[in-house]
Amino acid sequence: GAVVSQHPSWVICKSGTSVKIECRSLDFQATTMFWYRQFPKQSLMLMATSNEGSKATYEQGVEKDKFLINHASLTLSTLTVTSAHPEDSSFYICSARPAGVPSEQYFGPGTRLTVT
């Protein structure tokens, strides 16, 4: 149980285009989902927290207009990188917190984004 999927697992896009990444909790309902960014050989940096049915809360320094987050249901959150540039190339990882279990987060397998 407690499986989180991400789609796509990797994507290459041209500079200036937008890319949508999906995060799904497959066998549980997630009231909260988190989006992280990880640069090579570095730790995970929290980008934003999304709660089902409400606006995401972004961490300081994260451009909310560039990284659009939607948490439309208890099993799906999406991250859209708008007008992507090469510096947005990174590994994006989501995690999902089951309803009523504040100490748990289950991580997705990550999405490798390369902007050319």
Does position 6 interact with other proteins (CB under 8 A)? The reply is yes
Rule CB under 8 A: say whether 89 interacts with other proteins: no
Q: What is the rounded distance in angstroms from the CA atom of residue 71 to the CA atom of residue 30?
A: 10
Please give the structure tokens belonging to residue 97: 């917190």
> Do 36 and 44 contact (CB within 8 A), yes or no?
yes
Q: Is 7 in the site for other proteins (CB under 8 A)?
A: no
Q: What type of residue sits at position 81?
A: V
Window contacting other proteins (CB under 8 A); options: 61-69, 70-78, 79-87, 89-97: 89-97
**Binding test (CB under 8 A) with other proteins, winner from 58, 78, 88, 110:** 110
Residues in the site for other proteins, rule: CB under 8 A?
A: 4, 6, 32, 34, 41-44, 46, 49, 57, 91, 93, 95, 97, 102-103, 105-110, 112
